[in-house]
Amino acid sequence: MNWIKTQFQKELWSPYVAGVLLGIVGVLAVWLSDSLLGASGAFENLAGLVGKAIAPKLFDNLYFNFIMPPGITWGVILLVGVFFGGTVGALTSRTAKIRTMDDAQWKRIFGPQVWKRWLLLFVGAIILQYGAGIAGGCTSGLAISGGMLLAPAAFLFMAGMFASGILVALIVYRRRY
Amino acid sequence: MANNIIALFLGAAFGFSLNKAGLTRYNKIVNVFRFTDLSVLKFMMTALVVAMSGLYALRGLGLITFPRIPETYIVGNLVGGLIFGVGMALAGY
């Protein structure tokens, strides 16, 4: 019992152990709900819901009517769970705090201004979501969930993701790479 | 309803594993692209191997059928992945 408690209080687990947990979750998702884990799809469902309420004309297109119909889907509920699970993880290791994304590594490279971090994060997130929309999923929805079904799409996506990620990191970090 | 409760619990386990693997941090995500910390890769590949063997074993036993497999459009997946990687390296999440 004590051993379990210490494990829960650890801030970081071995990625292999955490990976096994995610693998089991992936299997259970298919087994119990016949669904795949995904985050970007749920985001688009929500975006569609908001968009149709604010600007119905703009959102009345093929993508939001048929490919990603808006609504509170299984994936949206999953996202709510992800939020709580992450909170539980941070609370058990006593690392939960409200912060302004003042990552030490970021500051060393780009300087101490937080607004720069926020701006780049915002731009990066838009690019990321756009890419996920084109590919048909994100890291969890396509790379992991598709990969576990051995979908070729997942492996193409992973190849693209790492190729450009490495390149951009190389450009951003230049000599400090 | 039962399905939603399952989603909530699975999501919680998902978020918990992400947090404990440290993937909620900027440096973990970016450093995988710099080859200085391969946690992301270890995490993803372990999850893949476990889920893959679990799913194919369960299907072999006839306990589950696979859901709709993500479609393959070679250009779409690859270009989407390339754009996604740019965002991921910039945002770090």
pLDDT (tens digit per residue) in A46-105: 888 888 888 888 877 877 777 777 878 888 999 999 999 999 998 988 887 887 777 788
Kindly determine whether residue B18 and residue A89, on different chains, have CB atoms separated by under 8 Å: yes
Q: Residue A172's pLDDT band (boundaries 50, 70, 90)? A: confident
Q: Residue B65's pLDDT band (boundaries 50, 70, 90)? A: confident
Kindly determine whether residue A35 and residue B67, on different chains, have CB atoms separated by under 8 Å: yes
Q: Which two tokens stand for residue A63?
A: 């993508």
Which residue in chain A is spatially nearest to B7 when comparing CA positions?
A78
Q: Does A22 touch chain B (CB under 8 A)?
A: yes
Q: Residue B84's pLDDT band (boundaries 50, 70, 90)? A: very high
pLDDT (tens digit per residue) in A16-54: 999 999 999 999 999 998 888 888 888 888 888 888 888
Q: Does A85 touch chain B (CB under 8 A)?
A: yes
SS3 A34: coil
Q: Does A144 touch chain B (CB under 8 A)?
A: yes
Q: Does A158 score more than 90 pLDDT? A: yes
Q: How far, in Å, CA of A126 to CA of A132, rounded?
A: 10
Q: Does B52 score more than 90 pLDDT? A: yes
pLDDT (tens digit per residue) in B18-40: 999 988 888 888 889 888 889 89
Kindly determine whether residue A162 and residue B46, on different chains, have CB atoms separated by under 8 Å: no
What is the ipTM score, two decimals? 0.91
B87 neighbors A40 (Cβ within 8 angstroms): no
Taking the model in full, what pTM does it have? 0.89
Q: What is the pLDDT of residue A177?
A: 65
Q: What is the largest CA-CA distance in chain B?
A: 44
Q: What is the DSSP letter of B69?
A: P
List, in order, residues 6 or more apart from A127 with CB less than 8 Å away: B83, B84, B86, B87, B90, B91
Q: Does B57 touch chain A (CB under 8 A)?
A: no
Q: How many residues does chain B have?
A: 93
Residue type, B28: K
Alpha-carbon distances, residue B60 vs A42, A175, B51 (angstroms): 30, 51, 14
Kindly determine whether residue B44 and residue A162, on different chains, have CB atoms separated by under 8 Å: no
CA dihedral of A43, A74, A159, B38, whole degrees rounded to 10? 90
Q: Residue B92's pLDDT band (boundaries 50, 70, 90)? A: confident
The kind and range of the H/E element at A3 are helix A2-9
